[in-house]
Structure 1
């Protein structure tokens, strides 16, 4: 096994959480593939440098708390990164249901203050479009909007 590549890969994983796919792609860039790449990935997993479940939990939790993404957007992004269904579910479990609703309500409140239009239907449509773009479920958004104080 290439010790220099192993050290570079370990540093790559230690810097921030990575998926198996990201590590494989980086190894490809370094000209390492096949059995050698697989051995490096196995070593990284065995030595806890690479843990896809941990990646999914950190990713989902931080995208929700920091960027206020909804579950749909987080799930889509994790799938695009090649995370397994099990790890994806573990990541989604990091999002508390009450926090999720509260964050959605805060997003709506903040966005509503920015909307200049006075037509309630236009305001609702803009709020819906905004929250859907953040990855929130349409049914949930409608539920919150229909309970929303009429101003």
Structure 2
């Protein structure tokens, strides 16, 4: 942790640094804005850099949202509710969220719900059925799956 004088970037220096930051992985506007502010940039200079990044397609909210949805669904096993909530925290528009969630294939989605349920089931298998169902319900809700899908799976598999 450095307690020295904070480096002050020019708009051009910040733009170059932000381009590298965005090229490394998909970023949304709010993440880049926060990073620019962390670098000591003023609000106006941050807005100027953001505008340039957007116009040069370093930042694209639709592309970011689709990558976020795919990543969280497949690697973290998150359901649509949790994904949507996390995207709203990042100030992504409802339009982009809805658009990206519509691209999830229902078969893949249900298969991920099943994978998550079976993984949890292995950990709680010794519990009585009633406790098992309650535990599974809470777990899958915390992962962001819809109640009707959770209950369908529980009723068909336990």
Tell me the TM-score normalised to structure 2 length: 0.87
Does 2:110 correspond to 1:106? no
Q: Secondary structure at the match of 1:35?
A: helix
1:1-150 aligned within 5 A? 2-148=11-157, 150=158
Give the CA deviation at 1:20.
0.7
Q: Deviations over 1:2-48 (max 9, x none)?
A: 21111011111111111111111111122222332222111101111
List structure 1 segments (4+ residues) > 6 angstroms apart after TM superposition.
Answer: none
Q: State how far apart, in whole Å, the 2-side matches of 1:101 and 1:63 are.
A: 15
Work out the CA distance in 1 between the residues paired with 2:112 and 2:36: 39
Q: Deviations over 1:127-149 (max 9, x none)?
A: 1111111111112101111111x
What SS does the aligned partner of 2:37 have? helix
- Summarize deviations over 1:108-137 as a string: whole Å, max 9, x none: 222222214342111111111111111111
Alpha-carbon distance between aligned partners in 1 of 2:122 and 2:38, rounded to the nearest angstrom: 47
Gaps of 5+ in 2: 1-9
Q: CA RMSD in A?
A: 1.5
Is the partner of 1:67 in helix, strand or coil? coil
The SS at the match of 2:58 is: coil
Q: How many residue pairs end up in the alignment? A: 149
